[in-house]
Every structure is written in structure tokens, then in C-alpha cells.
Structure 1
């Protein structure tokens, strides 16, 4: 999946979306000049790199990834005229292999868009879309014939419409930026989790509760030109998220009824209201919408972050069942469902915002009763039962994960399972199925 906001979109005034042949042709006709994130190429990369020369394709990709991402467009001459290429000669597997062999670390997320001519000219083009890299700087391996074929190792970058190589201080700066960016992303995710925890725990101080907080945040910012979701769009995202979550859950477990009804559609009415740069749907906080049902909070942030909080302890055991020895019963099947639903919702929200970034994930169990122990509740012969054989920790470590940019259902399922297992394994239990 290619990026949805590029130099072509900005120049042409197009809405976020896929790059099309018409966009390339229009930009060529209007003589859009090369820049640090756009490079016109007349011919395809050589099929077999020559010893003693850089792998030019790997160099160009690394330069874009080390700067801010960009497009390599093949089939456009130096005079910015459409000349076309032979799409049958494009071997994206070979191109990807070159990146893995010649770059360290390899650049991920590169897309190869083969765009046949739609104007009858027969002048097809290939667009190679390179996202800005979170693992920059990327170094290029190569050979130089002088000095006895000595191997060399450089980090290319784009400077306006040219490619240069980083000096030592630039390499050091690139590493500082990488680590600073990672630290800032982790801190932002922690703030979202902490705020949600403070909010929901403040609503339940009158009784001991175990709250699950799940947050998903894009590793890269949403493009500035992407408009915030309208209320109807937010409702559509929530609806689509619920549909996808049900599909993921049904496909992941041999006993689909194990989880019971999905939490979000069951407990919320899909009636999001405005919050501070976010849409909020909850059965808490609004007195007129107060409920005795399990508490749920869901937030869709303008920066692409999704936060969900679910009270896993409320009505976790049957009313006629004594809970004298149970301090914080945690409904494990609802934990699983909530994680799957949040992952599905985050994915749908990311697509609606045309985001192509990976997402950092975090899930944690929180309570205001610091002396209580979390007690897992499982299904035994179809009824809730305390897992007396399981561990009952008083402190739970956060579970972390990552959702890749171009995730299919199998990838979403794997991410959800990993995140849920990160909590359940602390009880010494596994996800069934």
C-alpha cells in the first residue's frame, strides 16, 4: 500500500489517495520540477549492477528514506516529458532484493506502482513510493575500483533535487533524531494511556475495579492536509471497526461464542461526541447516559490515536456467586475481545485518515486499589469461573506491540493476539483456540 499524500498531491491540489497515471501525466504536463521528495527517471534501473559502481536504485531509495520519503517516477525524461517504460520489464522482487542486499538497515514499506497509460499514448510509468523511514540513517554498500576494489559504506540523502552523502556530523544527527523520535512516540503513547486511566478510575472510586486500557498511536504524524473526521465519518469508522473485529474474532478462535457479544457495539450506541481534538463515545461521564452496564470509553483522536478503556471487573461473576476472596476479578474473554476490537478500530481509523504509518500499541490493566490482586476469570463449561490455578498479581506490566503499515486480517489478528497474550501470560494462562 503506497502513501496517500505525496508531492504530486500537494502540487496538483488533489485529495489524499492513491497516485494515478492521470496525476503523473498532469504533473509532467505542468512541468513539476524535481525536489527532495520527487525524482523523475527516464529509464528503469539496470537489470544487473556493475561491480565498481553503486547500485543506483538502492542509492536513490536510501536517499529518499533518509530525508523525508518521496517518489521515484520512471518513464519521465530529464526535460520532464513523458517517454514511458516497458512495464513487462519491471521486476519488483529483484528491486526489493537489491534493497535488502545493498542497504543497511534495509528500507521497508517501499511500494511499486505500475501505471499503464490511460490516454492511449502507450507511455506507461512506474512509480516507486518510499516512505520516510523511522530507522534512518540507511547506509549503502558498494565498491570503488580505485584503492584495490575497496568496499565503501555511505549514507545518501536528498538535497533539493540532488543526492549527496552524509558527513559524520550528519550521520550523528540522524541517529539522534531517530532515538529522539522513538522516545517522543513512546512518551506520547504513555500520556494517552495515563490520561485514560486517570479518567476512568476517577469514575469508579467507590468500588474496586480492574480497567483495561488499550492505545494505538501512529509512529509518524498524520499529513497536515488531511482533514479531521466528521461525526458521520467517525460513526462509519466505529461501525467498520466492529464489523472487522467480529470477522477477526470469528476467524481466530475455534469457538466463536467463547467471547460472547462484542463489547463496543453491545455497550455503546455509536453516538460519538466532540472532545478535545477527538471523538468520544462512552457510557460514562454523561449523567443522562449513565448505565449499570460494564463501563466503556472509546476515543478517536485527530492525530490518528485510538484509545479504549473497558471495566473488566463489573459483573464479571454471577450475582449468586460469592466474591469474598476475589478482589479484582478480570474477565479474560472480555479482555481478549476488547483488544481485538481496539486493533480493528485503530486500523479502520488509520485508513479513514489516509495514514500509512505503523502504529505503536500498548495495553495495561489499571486499578486505584493498589493493595488488591488481579484475579483472572475464565469460562469453565460455559460459565464464568475463577481460575484458581492461575497467578494473581498485584502489579501488571504493560504489554507492547506494533501494527505494520499495510496490515491484512492475518496481520491484525497476530497483533491482537500478541497484545492480549502480553497481559494474559502474566496470569499464566493462554488465549484458547
Structure 2
């Protein structure tokens, strides 16, 4: 009898130990996945997933360094501008470039390390203390000036706990479409080398690795170009862009898709479009013209599912038509068309005429959508923007300043014989940079008509850089 009790007691203890081990393994796996998630879906410095609690849990569980996670004890740049500080700048740039060349991930400063099972693991927070704007600016300058090409989408995030005065700095490095990123090795300013992470260790690429990376970069660009052409062609067909029915089309495409592209959820598309509805800026609201806005004419319309996207569209027989598409990779398509009834009746409408103010409004709409798509889809890095008129036209109508919503009578001298579609890169290191790049591209489009941007557009786009952060409730 006592043997049976002893056996049952032993079984209960063994079972309890097993459950505890299983629970600890689950917690550890959860923490590791949380850190990996920063690499896969990081999108803004306000993301609340990176917390002091998460860092403390990583220390308690002795989470090891890996190819996508690096622990650092000290602040990366210290001291005056001496040879020692220059060496630290080069070391900092090397760490950033290596992470970008290996798929991206966070480098966390302010975490002491120890060795466990011959691996470097997080042990405790040592805190980086208070950080000034000057110190942050130095980090960005070192990364931008010492890495070739610079890593687009790099984020420096200070995470602190006022209650315990603990703070860490996370340099969140995106997976880069521009790799390989090169640096000058120490003591060899005339050399370039490409660092990469082999697990937790940093090494330099061989000649064959470099050749492979450059081929992969070219293939990636070719693929994105093909995808852009396919999306542009699809948008033309969906809009019904045929002779004498000109549409102004804009496609804003991330240069690198999210690491784990998933089927787009209706909630994601709705979050993007609802945010655009709330934050859309119209030229007419700024005392300017009365253009057609793809966002405004589609407000509250039904959301339809398409091929790896959702869209809203006005009825085809409307005087003013608009279409907005949200794609699974974070691409945004906006298009507008103004039929003869969309121009003032007292003005003569010509076959194939396009309102210049509609082009400017399209730029404002795309700038609004950029912030939302980056947040919802977790996109870090630059975008490609293409804006044009399909099918092509030579007739662009100027607004009548004395008559709200009216247009100047057509003058044959205003004909534009060689109007072209314009494509450019939109940098997203800061909202101000993104707004400035969109402004320049739209200016290039409008300049072809012999006109300059309206004062309303030139002042509105920079203001959009101050738009509130998007709540990424649709990251599901």
C-alpha cells in the first residue's frame, strides 16, 4: 500500500515538473517570438510592443543573441570627436550594416550579457540613462554617413520606465531592399567591405557572397518593376481608361514587401481607408481650387474584395469618378476622372481634358495614405511613386481663380505634346522627408503642363507630415 502511495506521489511530482518545464518553454518561446516580431512587423517609434517589461523578461530568460537580435551593454557613441569616437562610429555603422545585410532586427543598447552554454545571452539592464536629441542625431548621422547605401527605415527607439529609471535604446534595423550595405573597415578608408551576421557573430562577405547579393538586389528590383507594371495595367482596366476618358492614376508601392506577406484582411483595408477619410485634406478647404479627391468621392462606399486587395469605387457613370485600392503588400492605388459633366457647364469641355488641380489633389491623397499603410502593414523602407494620365492627353485645364470650381477657357497654345508619366523614390526616414519627396514628384508632373504647384498644395503637403500616428488595430 505504501509503495502505491509512493509511486503516486512520485508520478504527481514528475507530472508537476513536466508542466512547469512546459510552461517555462512556452514563456521563453513567447519572448523570443516577440523579439522576432520587431524585425518582421516594426513600423514606428510609437509601437508599444517594445517595453522595459519585454527587455526584463528577455534578461530573466537569458534570451541569446542571434542573427536577428544583438545585445549591447554601452551607449554606441561616447566621448569627444577623437580617434576613439571615430572608431566607435565605425563600429556602430558596422553593426547596423551587418543587421541590414542579414534580414534586419533590433540591436539593443543598455543590456549586459553573460555566457550560458557558450552563448552570449541577456543578463540584466544597465540603462543608458537620459538621451538628448543631439545624441540621437549623432546616431542617425553616423549611420547615414558611414553606410553605403544608407539603410532606409532605420529607427532609434528609446524605451524607458519612469518608475525604475531604467532605459534602453533599440536600433531597429529593417530588412533592406538595397543590400548589400558597405562600410569602410577600420584603418582602411580606401576599402569597402560588407558585414553580415553569421548567427550572433559579425563577419565580412566574400567576393562570391557579394556577387550573389548584388544579383539578388537586381532581381528584386526587376520583380518590383514587373509588379508595378501589372498593378498599373490592372488599374487602367479597372478604371476603364480608354480613349477620350482620361484617368489620373497614382501608385504608391513599397520597395520591399513585408517579410511575411499574408492575405489582406478586410479590417486592414478598412483601417487604412477610414484613417484617410478622417485625415484627408482638400485644396478647397485651404482656400484653393475644387479638385476631385479619390478619398472624398469614395467616403463611406462599400468595400469590395479583389485579387489580393480591397477597393472602393464610384459608379462608372458619375460626373466625377474615383477609385482607391489597398493591396496585400501595402501598395496603394488612387485614380480620379472628371467627365464632361464634372467641368463647369459654362466652360467648353474638350475630348480628353484633365484638370491640373486634380493631379495636385491626388498627391495630397497619396501622402495621407502613406502613413496609414506603413503602420497597418508594418512596412519599413522607401516607396516608389508613379503618377500619370491614362490614356495620354495633351489638354490640361487650368483653374479659374475668380470662379470657384471653374476653369480657364482652352487656348491651343497651352497644348502639352509630350506629357509623360513620372516615377520616383519616396524616402520615409521621417514624415517630413516623405512629404517633401511626394511634393517634388507632383511638382515634376505639374511642371510638364507649364504651370507651377498652387500655393495651397505647396503648403499642405508639409503639414501632412505632422498628421497623428495611425493606430494599427488592423494588424491581425
How would you bin the TM-score normalised by the shorter chain? 0.7 to 0.9
Map 1:16-55 to 2 at 5 A.
Answer: 17-18=47-48, 19-45=50-76, 47-48=78-79, 49-50=83-84, 55=90
Confirm or deny that 1:128 pairs with 2:171.
yes
* 2:219 equivalent in structure 1: 180
* 2:377 equivalent in structure 1: 353
CA RMSD of aligned residues (A): 3.2
What CA deviation, in whole Å up to 9, does each residue of 1:248-301 have, x standing for no partner? x479xxx524135644323553321222221111124xxxxx543322221111
Shift of 1:59: 1.4
Confirm or deny that 1:242 pairs with 2:277.
yes
Q: Which of 104, 124, 127 pairs up with 1:69?
A: 104
Residues 427, 236 of structure 1: CA spacing in aligned structure 2 closer, same or farther, 3 A cutoff?
same
Q: Which of 366, 378, 386 pairs up with 2:398?
A: 378
Contact 1:115 1:126 in 2 (8 A): yes
Q: Which of 439, 457, 476 pairs up with 1:417?
A: 439
Shift of 1:333: 1.5
Shift of 1:366: 0.8
TM-score, with length taken from structure 2: 0.75
Alpha-carbon distance between aligned partners in 1 of 2:441 and 2:145, rounded to the nearest angstrom: 32
Shift of 1:413: 4.2
Shift of 1:235: 3.3
- Aligned positions, number: 403
Shift of 1:183: 2.2
Alpha-carbon distance between aligned partners in 2 of 1:167 and 1:389, rounded to the nearest angstrom: 61
3-state SS in 1 of match to 2:312: strand
Larger radius of gyration: 2
* 1:3 equivalent in structure 2: none
* 2:453 equivalent in structure 1: 431
Residue ranges of structure 1 left out of the alignment (5+ in a row) = 1-5, 285-289
Alpha-carbon distance between aligned partners in 1 of 2:209 and 2:39, rounded to the nearest angstrom: 33
Map 1:181-330 to 2 at 5 A.
Answer: 181-201=220-240, 208-224=244-260, 228-231=264-267, 233-246=268-281, 249=283, 256-260=287-291, 262-284=293-315, 291-323=317-349, 326-330=350-354
Contact 2:395 2:414 in 1 (8 A): yes
Residues 230, 407 of structure 1: CA spacing in aligned structure 2 closer, same or farther, 3 A cutoff?
farther
Alpha-carbon distance between aligned partners in 2 of 1:313 and 1:419, rounded to the nearest angstrom: 25
* 1:115 equivalent in structure 2: 159
What CA deviation, in whole Å up to 9, does each residue of 1:173-197 have, x standing for no partner? 2222222222222221121111111
Alpha-carbon distance between aligned partners in 2 of 1:412 and 1:43, rounded to the nearest angstrom: 32
* 1:287 equivalent in structure 2: none
Residues 314, 82 of structure 1: CA spacing in aligned structure 2 closer, same or farther, 3 A cutoff?
farther
Residues 295, 106 of structure 1: CA spacing in aligned structure 2 closer, same or farther, 3 A cutoff?
closer
Shift of 1:313: 4.2
Alpha-carbon distance between aligned partners in 1 of 2:323 and 2:336, rounded to the nearest angstrom: 7
TM-score, with length taken from structure 1: 0.81
Residues 171, 14 of structure 1: CA spacing in aligned structure 2 closer, same or farther, 3 A cutoff?
closer
What CA deviation, in whole Å up to 9, does each residue of 1:118-154 have, x standing for no partner? 673x44322111222333222222444xxxx885432
Residue ranges of structure 2 left out of the alignment (5+ in a row) = 1-31, 115-121, 456-476
Residues 265, 322 of structure 1: CA spacing in aligned structure 2 closer, same or farther, 3 A cutoff?
closer
3-state SS in 2 of match to 1:228: coil
